[in-house]
């Protein structure tokens, strides 16, 4: 499966994006390496991913989607999203929906959110005083085939939730969903409190600062090397491959 890094638009400039945080956390040099070296790999899957995301952004009617695979993707994406919204009780709420919104942590890093829904509700937090409380729901689509970390372990989703908290710090809870239309189940969910997101925001900022600083460290590994343009030139990647060859030999 192609990383969303390859299908995001360039409006983020040279700053890291939320979809890269997982790779950067494992190898801080990943960010600058992919700015220095051009990508020579296959891009047809990335183009298909772009097309499928566009169908969801535009909410293209199902009967207008002629390709069988794209139509199945759209049906399952919308089915999963509908189930998530139902679980959160959003069908009975007045909400605001945005698609493909980009949020920033100052000018350090950003993320593009496939689906963002926000609302307010009155909550009693045990002290008998009802309060108008802000909530958000973020969903990320993985529209090609392949497996990903479920929502509770997904760093990209966590980073997107952190970005929402950074921009709207009064939010109480951010609910997230990873939608995988070709997997079983087709979605997984998690939720984060504002206190938790505040701490994770500082953790991500430390990662970004190292990745954008001088001489970030290099650490080879299957997930971060898979979409790194510098693999043919990286000594750590070469050592890792030699270790694998020796181990399998």
Distance CA 172, CA 120 (A): 10
Q: What is the mean pLDDT of residues 14-21?
A: 94
**Burial of 134: CB neighbours in 10 Å, binned 0-12, 13-18, 19+:** middle
Strand order in the sheet with 109-124: 96-105, 109-124, 130-141, 171-179, 187-193
DSSP-based three-state secondary structure for 120 = strand
64-121 pLDDT, tens digit per residue, is 999 999 999 999 999 999 999 999 999 999 999 999 999 999 999 999 999 999 999 9
Q: Are 104 and 110 in contact (CB under 8 A)?
A: yes
Neighbouring-strand partners of residue 176 = 138, 190
Closest by CA position to 7, among listed 36, 49, 57: 49
Q: What is the mean pLDDT of residues 182-186?
A: 96
The whole-chain average pLDDT of the chain stands at: 91
Distance CA 140, CA 114 (A): 5
Q: Is the pTM of this model over 0.85?
A: yes
Q: Are 215 and 33 in contact (CB under 8 A)?
A: no
**Burial of 115: CB neighbours in 10 Å, binned 0-12, 13-18, 19+:** buried
Least confident residue range of 105-114, 119-128, 160-169, 204-213: 119-128
Residue ranges in 37-121 assigned as alpha helix (H): 44-58, 68-87
Q: What is the mean pLDDT of residues 154-169?
A: 98
Helix (H) or strand (E) holding 138: strand 130-141
Distance CA 174, CA 165 (A): 8
Q: Does the structure show a pLDDT above 60 at 8?
A: no
Confidence of residue 40 (pLDDT cuts 50, 70, 90): confident
Q: Does the structure show a pLDDT above 80 at 178?
A: yes
How high is the pLDDT of residue 31? 96
């Amino acid at each position: 499966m192609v990383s969303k890094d390859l299908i995001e638009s360039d409006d983020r400039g040279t700053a890291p994006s939320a979809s890269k945080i997982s790779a950067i956390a494992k190898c801080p040099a990943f960010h600058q390496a992919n700015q220095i070296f051009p990508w020579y790999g296959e891009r047809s899957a990335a183009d298909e991913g772009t097309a499928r995301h566009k169908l969801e952004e535009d909410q293209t009617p199902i009967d207008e989607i002629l390709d069988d695979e794209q139509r199945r993707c759209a049906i399952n994406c919308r089915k999963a999203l509908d189930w998530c919204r139902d679980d959160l009780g959003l069908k009975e709420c007045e909400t605001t929906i945005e698609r493909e919104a980009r949020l920033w942590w100052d000018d350090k890093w950003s993320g593009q959110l496939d689906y963002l829904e926000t609302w307010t509700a009155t909550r009693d937090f045990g002290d008998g005083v009802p309060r108008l409380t802000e909530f958000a729901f973020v969903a990320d689509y993985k529209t090609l085939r392949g497996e990903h970390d479920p929502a509770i372990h997904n760093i990209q989703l966590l980073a997107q939730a952190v970005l929402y908290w950074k921009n709207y710090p009064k939010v109480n809870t951010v609910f997230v969903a990873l939608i995988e239309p070709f997997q079983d189940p087709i979605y997984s969910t998690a939720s984060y409190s504002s206190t938790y997101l505040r701490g994770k925001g500082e953790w991500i900022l430390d990662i970004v600062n190292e990745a954008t600083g001088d001489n970030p460290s290099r650490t080879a590994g299957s997930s971060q090397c898979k979409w790194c343009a510098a693999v043919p030139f990286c000594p750590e990647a070469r050592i890792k491959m030699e270790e694998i060859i020796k181990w399998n030999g």
